[in-house]
């Protein structure tokens, strides 16, 4: 969140400043800098996966009750006066000094614009990191410099890259702020290789109800995975938006729902928020099935208590449990706070005098305080993102398995890699070779999972009208294009966190909906497909409204455009006894048959038990 734009929410109206007050305040910008009158506010950045505060962003304020109190006016005036490098430097130092005075832990996000960064790099060269901090005792390794979006930087990439390299040599990390708006662009991301990218609040405002924003964020996350960059979600203001951020597996988040900018630093999350983050939601039904859950990776292993056990105790644990690759460290409530890798610990303990110096110290001495925590109900498929994460220490440290946020066991990185690989091989084995969508066996498994969950769902069975003559006239390659179009349109209108899309084969598709608005989604799928399918005909076919071809009896006749027909069957498992997946599939095929032979686009019925449904009124 850019300090130049981090405005507080509107407050109650008050009398406007008089022109004289405003003039005095504007004239006093140099005095604000000279007299060190800037005051930082600190907003927490939360590590969602570990349910804790990762760091704070310093957001600067001018003197209270002046026209330059809020950052937009303050920095706008600095730009007008040509003092913005000096103001940014003073803000940087004020944020760092305040962080030290509060004896704060974690990371500190400090903002600098590209022009200010290049200015001080040109002025100070390799001394820039130390000169930025001046006499502040803050460890540079705790600082994350946020590059704000105020300046177009495409013509200054070389100088900016040199400045970044200098900061990194001193232990500082780099974040790209407000990605997706302003001058934060893909070129900057690709060439500067920031450690973190903060996605602008625009993409998360109402994301829980906006499929378009969800898809845009997923596209950005694919870039982040490819470039090995961690992501911070900005502007999280509702529980619903936070839930989507969690399901997207974004690790870090910031926003008013998680903590507001305050003079004092928040040391821990409010208990209700912390508990809600630790109580990991079950895996979406679209991601459960043959791959299993993290419970299949779990092995029992004793843990060390943070304020009780010493390094000597950990040493004894490793001696007593020779197959144990690591030791989890937990707090008094049995919640994991870290992990100690066996090999690293043994190497430290083998060094001369280490045991004498550290043996009686708390077991946190050689602990990784950012372990990978995984709820035992999370699907293996969801864990596949760990394999391409920035932090690869899980390969040696392994994972900590939790149950309702509390320690439940360990898992090795090797086991995770093997399980994810087997899951993907299994998925590829039953996937349709053209669309890569799950085939008959995964579809049946998902139906079984939905029946076990005992929640209402809808199965939609769709196929294409007039597809065979289209395929005969234009050839199988154009027919494949029509099948791919069907798959793409269906996927585009389904929620991947709630719905499951399968390809039975040929032109037959199955969708298992848990989205409450499934009717509207199906209607959009039919309308969009029917419109785009016409583009796959040649000019004459589009002009005629279809094509001439032989029917199944060899008789030439006219066939109109290919269209999509869908038979929908709503299922309430609790109202039916001993339902089998094949019963549901057979009943859905029966509804699809009515669509086909009634020349309809959509038929909706309710499953009432047995192999075939009764007709609805």
pLDDT in tens, 52-110: 899 999 999 999 888 898 888 899 899 899 999 999 999 999 999 999 999 888 999 99
* CB distance 398 to 431 below 8 Å: no
How much is the average pLDDT of 260-271? 89
Torsional class of 180: left (φ above 0), alpha (ψ -120 to 50), beta (otherwise): left
Average pLDDT over residues 500-509: 93
pLDDT surpasses 60 at 18: no
- What pLDDT sits at residue 276? 73
The CATH H-level (homologous superfamily) assignment of domain 19-279 is EAL domain (3.20.20.450)
Helices (H), 475-510: 476-492
Report residue 271's pLDDT band, with 50, 70 and 90 as the boundaries.
Answer: confident
pLDDT above 90 as % of the chain: 51
Q: What integer pLDDT is reported at residue 173 of this predicted model?
A: 95
3-state secondary structure of 23: helix
User: Per 3-state DSSP, what percentage of the chain is helix, strand, and coil (rounded to 5)?
Assistant: 45, 20, 35
Q: Is the pLDDT of residue 442 over 60?
A: yes
Q: Give the span between the Cα atoms of 481 and 440, in whole angstroms.
A: 22
Q: At which residue do the structure tokens 């705790």 appear?
A: 142
- pLDDT-based confidence at residue 184 (cuts at 50, 70, 90): low
CATH architecture of 287-422: Roll (3.10)
Cβ atoms of 377 and 402 closer than 8 Å: no
What is the reported pTM? 0.54
- Who has greater pLDDT, 613 or 55? 55
Instruction: Match 């007709």 to its residue by tokens.
Output: 615
> Is residue 524 within 8 Å of residue 492, measured between CB atoms?
no
The 10s digit of each residue's pLDDT in 365-402 is 999 988 888 888 887 777 766 776 666 777 788 899 99
Matching residue, tokens 């499951």 = 500
pLDDT at site 342: 93
**pLDDT, tens digit, 9 for 90 and up, residues 329-350:** 999 889 999 999 999 999 999 8
Q: What is the pLDDT of residues 578-590, one digit of tens each?
A: 788 889 999 999 9
Q: Give the range among 384-388, 466-470, 494-498, 551-555 with minimum mean pLDDT.
A: 384-388
pLDDT of amino acid 11 = 36
- Per the CATH hierarchy, to which homologous superfamily does domain 432-606 belong? Reverse transcriptase/Diguanylate cyclase domain (3.30.70.270)
Alpha helices in 228-308 (DSSP H): 239-247, 271-278
Q: Residue 20 above 50 pLDDT? A: no
Domain boundaries defined on the chain: 19-279, 287-422, 432-606
Read off the pLDDT of residues 24-66 as tens digits, 9 standing for 90 and up.
Answer: 444 478 889 999 999 999 999 999 877 889 999 999 999 988 8
Which whole number is the average pLDDT over 289-294?
63
Residue 72's alpha-carbon distances to 67, 519, 556, in angstroms, are 10, 46, 73
Alpha carbon of 542 to those of 379, 475, 570, 600: distances in Å?
47, 17, 36, 22
pLDDT digits (tens, 9 = 90+) for 200-246: 999 998 887 787 888 899 889 888 877 888 899 999 998 888 988 98
Average pLDDT, rounded, for the chain: 86
Angle, CA 97 vertex, CA 93 and CA 101 arms, to 5°:
170
Q: What is the dihedral of CA 446, 447, 453, 455, to 10 degrees?
A: 120
- How far the first Cα of the chain sits from its last, in Å, is 55
Cβ atoms 454, 326 nearer than 8 A: no
């Amino acid at each position: 969140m850019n300090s130049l734009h981090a405005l507080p929410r509107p407050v109650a109206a008050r009398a406007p400043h008089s022109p004289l007050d405003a003039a005095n305040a504007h004239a006093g910008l140099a005095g604000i800098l000279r007299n060190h009158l800037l005051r930082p506010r600190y907003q927490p950045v939360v590590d969602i996966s570990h349910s804790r505060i990762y760091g704070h962003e310093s957001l600067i304020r001018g003197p209270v009750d002046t026209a330059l109190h809020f950052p937009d006016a303050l920095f706008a005036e600095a730009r007008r006066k040509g003092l913005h490098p000096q103001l940014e430097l003073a803000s940087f130092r004020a944020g760092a000094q305040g962080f030290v005075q509060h004896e704060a832990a974690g990371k500190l996000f400090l903002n600098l614009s590209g022009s200010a960064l290049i200015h001080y790099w040109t002025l100070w060269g390799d001394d820039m990191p130390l000169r930025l901090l001046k006499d502040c005792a803050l460890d540079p390794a705790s600082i994350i410099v946020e590059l704000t979006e105020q300046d177009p930087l495409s013509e200054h990439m070389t100088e900016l890259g040199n400045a970044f390299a200098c900061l990194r040599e001193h232990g500082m990390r780099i974040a790209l702020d407000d990605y997706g708006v302003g001058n934060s662009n893909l070129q900057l991301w690709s060439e500067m290789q920031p450690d973190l990218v903060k996605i602008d609040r625009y993409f998360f405002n109402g994301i829980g109800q906006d499929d378009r924003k969800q898809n845009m964020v997923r596209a950005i996350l694919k870039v982040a995975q490819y470039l090995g960059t961690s992501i911070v979600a900005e502007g999280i203001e509702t529980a619903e938006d936070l839930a989507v951020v969690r399901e997207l597996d974004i690790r870090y988040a910031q926003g008013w729902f998680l903590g507001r900018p305050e003079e004092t630093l928040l040391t821990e999350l409010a208990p209700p928020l912390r508990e809600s983050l630790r109580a990991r939601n079950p895996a979406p039904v679209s991601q459960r099935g043959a791959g299993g859950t993290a419970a299949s990776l779990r092995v029992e292993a004793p843990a060390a208590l943070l304020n009780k056990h010493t390094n000597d105790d950990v040493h004894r644990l490793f001696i007593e449990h020779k197959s144990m690759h690591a030791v989890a460290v937990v707090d008094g409530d049995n919640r994991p706070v870290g992990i100690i890798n066996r090999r690293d610990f043994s190497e430290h303990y083998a060094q001369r005098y280490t045991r004498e110096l550290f043996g009686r110290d708390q077991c946190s001495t050689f602990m990784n305080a950012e372990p990978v925590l995984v709820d035992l109900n999370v699907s293996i498929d969801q864990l596949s993102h760990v394999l391409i994460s920035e932090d690869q220490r899980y390969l040696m440290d392994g994972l900590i398995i939790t149950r309702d946020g509390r320690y439940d066991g360990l898992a090795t990185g090797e086991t995770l890699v093997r399980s994810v690989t087997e899951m993907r091989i299994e998925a590829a084995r039953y996937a349709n070779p053209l669309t890569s969508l799950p085939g008959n066996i995964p579809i049946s498994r998902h139906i079984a999972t939905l029946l076990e969950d005992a929640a209402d769902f809808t199965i939609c069975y769709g196929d294409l009208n007039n597809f065979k003559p289209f395929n005969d006239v234009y050839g199988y390659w154009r027919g494949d294009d029509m099948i791919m179009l069907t798959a793409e349109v269906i996927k585009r209108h389904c929620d991947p966190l709630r719905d499951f899309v399968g390809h039975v084969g040929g032109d037959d598709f199955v969708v298992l909906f848990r989205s409450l608005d499934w009717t509207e989604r199906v209607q959009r799928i039919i309308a969009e497909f029917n419109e785009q399918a016409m583009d796959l005909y040649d000019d004459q076919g589009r002009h005629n409204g279809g094509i001439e071809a032989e029917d199944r009896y060899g008789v030439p006749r006219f066939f109109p455009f290919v269209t999509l027909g869908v038979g929908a069957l709503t299922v309430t498992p609790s109202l039916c006894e001993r339902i089998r997946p094949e019963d549901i599939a057979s009943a859905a095929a029966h509804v699809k048959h009515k669509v086909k032979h009634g020349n309809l686009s959509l038929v909706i019925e309710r499953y009432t038990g047995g192999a075939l449904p009764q007709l609805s009124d």
